[in-house]
Amino acid sequence: MACRMKGMHADNLQLDAHGRLKHFLAIEGLPRALLTQILDNAERFAPVGDRAVKKVPLLRGKTVANLFFEPSTRTRTTFDLAAKRLSADVLNLNIEASSTKKGESLSDTLRNLEAMQCDMFVVRHQSSGAANFIARQIAPHISVINGGDGRHEHPTQAMLDVFTIRRWKRRFDALTVAIVGDVAHSRVARSEIHALRILGVPEIRVVGPKTLIPAEVESLGVRVFHDLEAGIKGADVVIMLRLQQERMQSALLPSGHEYFREYGLTAARLKLAAKDAIVMHPGPINRGVEIASDIADGAQSVILQQVTFGIAVRMAVMSMVMGTQALGGADAEHD
**Contact footprint for a second copy (CB under 8 A):** 49-55, 57, 60-63, 71, 73-74, 77-78, 80-81, 84-85, 89, 91, 93, 98-99, 101-105, 108, 111-112, 114-117, 245, 283-287, 304-305, 307-308, 311, 333-335
Q: Which of these, 331, 324, 320, 325, lies nearest to 14 by C-alpha position?
A: 320
We find the least distance from the C-beta atom of residue 122 to a second copy, in angstroms, to be 15
104 or 218: CB nearest a second copy: 104
Tell the smallest beta-carbon distance from residue 199 to a second copy (Å): 24
* Core vs surface per residue 38-68: b (16+ CB within 10 A) or e: bbebbbbbbebeeeeeeebebbeebbbbbbb
Q: What angle do CA 264, 300, 156 make, to 5 degrees?
A: 80
Closer to a second copy by Cβ: residue 221 or 288:
288
Residue whose CB is less far from a second copy, 213 or 280: 280
CB of 293 to a second copy, least distance (A): 10
The rounded distance, in Å, linking the Cα atoms of 270 and 88 is: 42
Q: Looking at beta carbons only, is 76 or 269 nearer to a second copy?
A: 76
The least CB distance from residue 218 to a second copy, in Å, is 31
- Which residues, at least 6 apart from 156, have a Cβ–Cβ distance to it below 8 Å? 24, 79, 145, 146, 147, 310, 313, 314, 317
Cβ 146 to a second copy shortest distance, Å: 20
**Rounded to the nearest whole angstrom, what is the least distance from the CB of residue 192 to a second copy in the complex?**
19
Q: How far apart are CA 30 and CA 134, in angstroms?
A: 19
**185 Cβ contact list (under 8 Å, min separation 6):** 151, 212, 244, 247
Contact 193, 201 (CB under 8 A): no
List the alpha helices (DSSP H) in 138-271: 155-169, 187-198, 228-232, 245-248, 256-263, 267-270
Q: Which is nearer to a second copy, 201 or 317 (CB)?
A: 317
Strand partners of residue 90:
64
Between 12 and 100, whose beta carbon lies closer to a second copy? 100
Nearer to a second copy, 53 or 174 (CB): 53
**What is the nearest approach in angstroms of a second copy to the Cβ of residue 102?**
5
- Please answer whether residues 163 and 39 qualify as being in contact, where contact means their C-beta atoms are separated by less than 8 angstroms: yes
**Shortest Cβ distance from residue 61 to a second copy (Å)?**
3
Closer to a second copy by CB, 4 or 210: give it: 4
Helix (H/G/I), strand (E/B), else coil: 19? coil
